[in-house]
Structure 1
Amino acid sequence: MALPVSHEQPEQQEQPVAEEGPQPAAAAPAPGRRKAWWARTGLAALSGLALALAFPPFDVWPLSILAVAALALLTRGRTARHGAWLGFAFGVPFFVLLLSWLRPVGWDATVGLSLIEALFLALMGAGLALTSKLRGWPLWGAVLWVTQEWMRDRLPFGGFPWGRLAFANTASPLTPLAALGGAPLVTFAVAGSGTLLAWAALAAVRARRTDTELPWRTAVGAVGALALVLVGYAVPVPTSADDTVKVALVQGNVDRPGMDFLGRPMEVLDNHATATEKLAADVAAGKVAKPDVVIWPENASDLDPFTDPAAYARIDEAVKAVGVPTLVGALVDGPDEQHVQNEGIVWDPATGPGASYTKQHPVPFGEYVPFREELSKVISRLQRVARDFYPGDHNGVMQLGPARIGDVICFEVAYDEIVRDAVNQGGRVIVVQTNNATYNNTGQTEQQLAMSRLRAVEHGRAVLIAATSGVSAVINPDGSVQQRTGEMEQAVLNAVVPLRDGKTLADRVGAGPEWVLAVGGVLACAFAATGAVRRRRAERRAADGEREPQHTA
């Protein structure tokens, strides 16, 4: 990637705000400047809230573009330090509202995680300020959004991808771009549309101030922003398939949502077994067609069927009643007494349990506790995670009856590489086993549903969501929702879905484009920072030269 040129036309230059720090009394910030600083901070916070409203359960996706544009304008021409502050002020309210579904765990968890995630937006804010002085800054601004998500998806403890711009655009004109470059390309297009809009707005403001006609930049920026939004309509999304499979998704429900959703032993398991037996009765009565496969959600069995004979017998009884292979979500003992494994188990009505998939990416502080010995002493709530979840070491591709599925469990649907690997290794339909009982009626289930819709388009696969207490759903390869349940209800979804073998361009290129954009963002920041240091040194040398005493001959 070519390095950007670090200069602009004179009329485009904006003077950066001076770095904060000790200043002579005469150079103290004027009240007007301090007022402007707080005004920018407030606008950044409001823009962050606007971005949160672009995500489910609000789903006002155009706000994702406007929020990007607002942050680009606010950081334009600022110092890196000021840009970092504005990015942080943008990020904190954004994540607090977006992650408010964590409130059953505690508002302190919501705020704590939001502060950590906002640090990445602070870094991006500094980068936006630095690169705003480069030629072609709208491009670098869009690239930096991808860079920020690239870092946040991986750090710390394997990352937390919630809040990606792509996940606010799973039912927008930009969604089909996922078939070309996955979530990173959708994010790039959303951010690019926003930065071009900011570029157009700046040109329009300058024209108004100078009482001149609107410059060509305004038209180009506005048209470019609109083109990026609409280009998705030109992207074909593959949906055809030679084979289909009849599936039944069982949502057994829980008796109580929240942290103690498991209730008494066998409660959750019995709910799912009973719902499956009702399905078998409906099939026998001719009310519904017999499915080829049945899918239970994550944690459908609250007891380890391999060590608890009653749990094994109850599962086996239900599977035999329906008479088809069933994917059972269960917690099973790990390799030692300190660990447990979160598994999807293929259960055959004739031969019993067979192949299994173990969740590869346990959730830190929810399914395992980093630095357990130290942190448990100061955060007693962490003791509720009695045993750490042991991560799996292979993908979720398994044969379930006539279908070769790619299984992912719960939050794993947010991670590009886990879903992509399941498809590239042969999964013809994506299965998402999930348990959101802790977060019912908080908006979390809707956000996870949106991610699954994007995955359907990205990989050209039907996506089957089996949730313990909702939302369960059948999603077509084009991202449309064929069926869905509500929350906190027992339900069974019966559907016919395609089994596809073809791969999208996003499957083929993998993470390559994301890495190119992410590294490009880092290089652009480095180039801009180097240029800023050189300019500052040159200004100091010039100032020192002016202060030297004049000598007479």
Structure 2
Amino acid sequence: MTVTVDRRLSAPRSPRLTSPWMRGVAAVAAGALPALAFPAPSLWWLAYVALVPWLLLARSAGTARRAALDGWLGGAGFMIALHHWLWSSLHVFIVPLALFLGALWAPWGWLVRRLLGGAPGRDPGGRQVAAALVLVPCGWLMAELARSWQYLGGPWGLLGASQWQFTPALRLVSVGGVWLVSLLVVVVNTAVAVLIALPRARNPACAALAVVGLGTSAVWLWAPVPKRTGTVRIAVVQPGLIVGPQARFDREERLTRQLAGQGADLVVWGESSVSFDLTSRPDIARRLAALSSEVGADVLVNVDARRADGRGISKTSVLIGPDGPVGASYDKMRLVPFGEYIPARSLLGWATSVGKAAGEDRRRGDHQVIMSTGTLRLGPLVCFESAFPDMSRRLADGGAQLLVAQSSTSTFQHSWAPAQHASLAALRSAETWRPMVHATLTGITAVYDAQGRPVGSRLGTSRSTAAVYEVPLAGGHSPYDRYGDWAWHLAVILLAAGAVYEAFTRTRRVQQPSGPARRPVPRTRSHRPCPARWPARGR
């Protein structure tokens, strides 16, 4: 008998695929690729295929454990690439931090192999591929949701946030938040990976792409849009990179005086714009009140100083009018891990010795505040808080007409950080149908209307100036504001349904016999085997 051996099956795989070290490097590189879709490169279109190499790698893993490791290392690569600018503050500590957060993608890597890998030598069927096109994006969303917890770093760098300048995506944001955009971007990536690796399963992949395209078109055509209710003139003061708290305050004061007679309704200073407690420095408080009177508008400042009552350091937004502070102030609630406090300081306090981690924990606020100038209700956020969709949504529900984020990224002045941070305001505007002002000390300062579109020109990191923006106001509530985070709730339900179905099928498989029972053959004379020594008939 001749045996034919298919060399394609018998030939050993390339060492590049079988070597665990080379495969690990490939996983890190594949995970880092999506970072190019975010600012500063802002290759937003790349997001729709950037996950494909990572998907193909996890799919080809020889074992489930290896696929989980591919997901883990890819997640670490994504975290390092997206937040590489933190190196100046965290130094080598960024590596274990990225590995810790990257572990959130290990279940996703396992899920990719389980649904797209198939049995050895056998591609997954059409139903399994269809399930992958639904569940793999849901699994990605779970990783994003888990790391969005403020104590794990918050929702900075969600995949959907890379689409902040793509108008159709902003319309989707108003319907389902940034979570919906993340979900659909991963659907497209998964469909492309299927078309490359499993061409026989092109029908469900093409169907998924068609659903995404038609759904986006339907939202573009029929989703409601905010109705304009008026206009407000917002002035922003950006002093630039100035050394010393007193010199910075003096520069902000001079720039603000230039706004006199320009009809501003509100003047906004950046985060940490005042480094003196207003109670212990009444002279600073009087100068701010005089500025408000001279300009003819209230001034929103941010005080970053030790409290006179001895309750530690806090970052407090204060609205100053001609007679002094107006209404309640706002203390920053969600602090930057390691930048403004160290989680489990008794365990991780050593981070202060290897980087610029916080030497002292800032004091945390416990509630949000709506401020009023008499003609305008505004909702303040401080820096990092503009990354959280729930905070801006809560301010919109509370009656805020304008969202204001006071920020400072001067530590990361020549990195991707200022552009990444400024882009978040576009998403919060589209989600809530509220215009948003992103005011910084050193740039990038930007203003967006209620649909996430830019208003006027941005102030770059090289500018030291004051600028006035005509900001259109809008009323009503967006679908996302009304229905909340239904996108990731749906993802949880679908994953739970998939897990129940998997458990059910495995239980049935165990209960079923391995094959039909064989009936014993009665041993009669006619069935008696011929001994080998008997001669064959006909010989």
- The equivalent residue for 1:13 is none
2:136 aligned to 118, 141, 155, which one?
Answer: 141
User: For 1:150, what is the secondary structure of its paired residue?
Assistant: helix
User: For 2:258, what is the secondary structure of its paired residue?
Assistant: helix
Q: Name the amino acid aligned to 1:97.
A: A
The answer as to 2:241 corresponding to 1:254 is yes
Residues 464-473 or 38-47, more deviating: 38-47
2:302 aligned to 329, 344, 353, which one?
Answer: 329
Aligned length: 491
2:225 aligned to 232, 238, 241, which one?
Answer: 238
Give structure 1 stretches of 5+ with no counterpart: 1-28, 208-214, 256-262, 284-288, 544-553
1:423 is displaced (CA, Å) by: 0.9
1:98 is displaced (CA, Å) by: 1.0
1:32 aligned to 5, 13, 17, which one?
Answer: 13
The answer as to 2:243 corresponding to 1:266 is no
User: For 1:56, what is the secondary structure of its paired residue?
Assistant: coil
Q: Residues 493 and 235 (structure 1 numbering): CA distance in 2 closer, same or farther, change over 3 Å?
A: farther
In 1, the alpha carbon distance for the partners of 2:411 and 2:462 equals 11
1:244 is displaced (CA, Å) by: 1.9
Q: Name the amino acid aligned to 2:85.
A: W
In 1, the alpha carbon distance for the partners of 2:314 and 2:179 equals 31
1:92-103 alignment to 2 at 5 Å?
A: 92-103=76-87
Give structure 2 stretches of 5+ with no counterpart: 1-9, 119-127, 516-539
In 1, the alpha carbon distance for the partners of 2:206 and 2:108 equals 27
User: For 2:327, what is the secondary structure of its paired residue?
Assistant: strand
User: For 2:341, what is the secondary structure of its paired residue?
Assistant: coil
- The equivalent residue for 2:155 is 161
User: For 1:354, what is the secondary structure of its paired residue?
Assistant: coil
In 1, the alpha carbon distance for the partners of 2:25 and 2:319 equals 53
In 2, the alpha carbon distance for the partners of 1:218 and 1:131 equals 14
- The equivalent residue for 1:86 is 70
Q: Residues 487 and 383 (structure 1 numbering): CA distance in 2 closer, same or farther, change over 3 Å?
A: closer
Q: TM-score, normalised by structure 1?
A: 0.81
1:83-482 alignment to 2 at 5 Å?
A: 83-132=67-116, 134=128, 135-154=130-149, 157=151, 159-172=153-166, 173-204=168-199, 206=200, 216-217=203-204, 219-224=206-211, 226-227=213-214, 233-234=220-221, 236=223, 238-255=225-242, 263-280=243-260, 283=261, 289-333=262-306, 337=310, 339-377=312-350, 379-380=352-353, 385-482=358-455
Q: TM-score, normalised by structure 2?
A: 0.83
2:153, 2:337 within 8 Å by CA — same for their partners in 1? no
2:304, 2:315 within 8 Å by CA — same for their partners in 1? yes
In 2, the alpha carbon distance for the partners of 1:275 and 1:401 equals 24
1:253, 1:272 within 8 Å by CA — same for their partners in 2? no
Q: Residues 248 and 144 (structure 1 numbering): CA distance in 2 closer, same or farther, change over 3 Å?
A: same
1:357, 1:392 within 8 Å by CA — same for their partners in 2? yes
In 2, the alpha carbon distance for the partners of 1:174 and 1:494 equals 28
Q: Residues 414 and 265 (structure 1 numbering): CA distance in 2 closer, same or farther, change over 3 Å?
A: closer
Q: Residues 416 and 384 (structure 1 numbering): CA distance in 2 closer, same or farther, change over 3 Å?
A: closer
In 2, the alpha carbon distance for the partners of 1:71 and 1:441 equals 30
Q: Name the amino acid aligned to 2:488.
A: E
CA displacement 1:336-374 (0-9 Å, x = unmatched) = 746322111111113445321111101121111222244
2:377, 2:399 within 8 Å by CA — same for their partners in 1? yes
Residues 426-435 or 122-131, more deviating: 122-131
User: For 1:499, what is the secondary structure of its paired residue?
Assistant: strand
Pick the structure with greater CA Rg. Answer: 2
1:528 is displaced (CA, Å) by: 4.2
Q: Residues 225 and 242 (structure 1 numbering): CA distance in 2 closer, same or farther, change over 3 Å?
A: closer
User: For 2:237, what is the secondary structure of its paired residue?
Assistant: strand
User: For 1:302, what is the secondary structure of its paired residue?
Assistant: coil
CA displacement 1:54-98 (0-9 Å, x = unmatched) = 111111122212123333333336443122111123222222121
Q: Name the amino acid aligned to 1:100.
A: H
Percent of residue pairs identical: 26
2:455, 2:471 within 8 Å by CA — same for their partners in 1? no
In 1, the alpha carbon distance for the partners of 2:436 and 2:84 equals 26
1:152 is displaced (CA, Å) by: 1.1
In 2, the alpha carbon distance for the partners of 1:382 and 1:47 equals 28
- The equivalent residue for 2:32 is 49
2:327, 2:372 within 8 Å by CA — same for their partners in 1? no
1:71 aligned to 39, 54, 57, which one?
Answer: 54
